[in-house]
Amino acid sequence: MGQGTTTASAVGRRSRRSTGWAQAVDRVVTSVAARAIGGACADLMDLLLPSLCAVCTRPPGTLCRDCEPRLRAALLHPYRAEEGAAALPLLGQDLLPLPVVATAPYRNEVAAALLAFKDHGRTGLSVVLRPALHRAMVAAEQLVPGVIGGDPRGRWPRVLLVPMPGRAAGFRRRGYDPLAELLAGPLPHGWELRPGLLAPRRSPPQGIVALLRSGGTGRASHSGATVSGRRRQGQGRFRPTRAAIQLSSDSRAAPVPPIVLVDDVMTTGSTLAAAVQALASTGLVPVGAVVLAAVSPPADQDERQSDRT
């Protein structure tokens, strides 16, 4: 898509064409058929390549007898994970970071398993990882006070769970969308998956590229110029879809249930910040986020490999 001076109507046409193209890609990537094909490829990889433990790489099986209990134990205690996520958006009058509940810190068995699950086709690990993500969702009802805790079912029949959109390039490379794998099947009571509210922009703003090249991490605190720079760099990575705009306009007739974002790994929080920014541009403001794992300071080297692409 070319750059340069053009009329407003041409911009409008171009924008509509671009939006239509992106939505078509989204539909293909997230369609049941595409997921089935991707899943089948991944399962085949899992079958052909490794019968090695995804954590320690010793035989036999997806997880060996030593690593499986350690991984399961590491995923048992969800916690509030904003600390160290320097790029999380600041919300409300008190400018507090978006509440995030993680199932586990991104390290040791959890990091190895997630890396294998996300980048090496080890989709069999979803048997362990999916219930862990569900635990984070249930824990979020208690750990995010005044937002979705308290009496959410009294006021709201459900919570809308909004996944970070996967990139088509990542899907082509892997053959599956790791987050979609984690969200497949029934969710905990009261949680409704609401995909399709966010879409990736075709090319990330230069700030994102610069951040990735500089190996930006979540080591900094929630103050200072570097932090606000990171927060800005997350902006513009996603755009709200027509469905998000529709949901927002529906909210004039009836209040929209609480929106909670979901991702597999949180590093600096810039992905969640981009999602909040895109939704907020339509008037929808998420109340929190759940992630499977969060990179805690001191940051782990593996975090850069695990960031969503």
Task: Look up residue 193 and give its two tokens.
Answer: 């998956």
Q: C-beta of 93: minimal distance to Zn ion in Å? A: 48
Q: Give whichever of 55 and 179 is closer to Zn ion, judged by the CB atom.
A: 55
- Point out which residues bind Zn ion (CB under 5 A): 53, 55-56, 64, 67
Q: Give whichever of 56 and 193 is closer to Zn ion, judged by the CB atom.
A: 56
Sequence-ordered list of residues with C-beta below 8 angstroms from that of 159, at least 6 positions apart, any chain = 148, 152, 190, 191, 192, 257, 258, 259, 260
Q: C-beta of 56: minimal distance to Zn ion in Å? A: 3
Backbone dihedral angles phi then psi of residue 297, each to the nearest 5 degrees: -70, 145
Q: C-beta of 58: minimal distance to Zn ion in Å? A: 5
* Distance separating alpha carbons of residues 78 and 137, to the nearest angstrom: 9
CB atoms within 10 A of CB 3: 5
User: CA nearest 277: which of 210, 165, 161, 198?
Assistant: 198
* Distance separating alpha carbons of residues 94 and 76, to the nearest angstrom: 31
Q: Give whichever of 55 and 287 is closer to Zn ion, judged by the CB atom.
A: 55
Name the H helices within the chain: 8-30, 32-48, 67-74, 108-119, 126-143, 152-155, 168-174, 178-183, 206-213, 225-233, 242-250, 270-280, 302-306
Q: What is the amino acid identity at position 49? A: L
β-sheet bridge partners, residue 191: 159
Sequence-ordered list of residues with C-beta below 8 angstroms from that of 232, at least 6 positions apart, any chain = 207
Q: C-beta of 47: minimal distance to Zn ion in Å? A: 19
Q: Give whichever of 45 and 56 is closer to Zn ion, judged by the CB atom.
A: 56
Q: Give whichever of 50 and 204 is closer to Zn ion, judged by the CB atom.
A: 50
Q: C-beta of 71: minimal distance to Zn ion in Å? A: 9
Q: C-beta of 64: minimal distance to Zn ion in Å? A: 3
Q: C-beta of 115: minimal distance to Zn ion in Å? A: 14
Q: Give whichever of 37 and 127 is closer to Zn ion, judged by the CB atom.
A: 127
Q: Give whichever of 39 and 50 is closer to Zn ion, judged by the CB atom.
A: 50
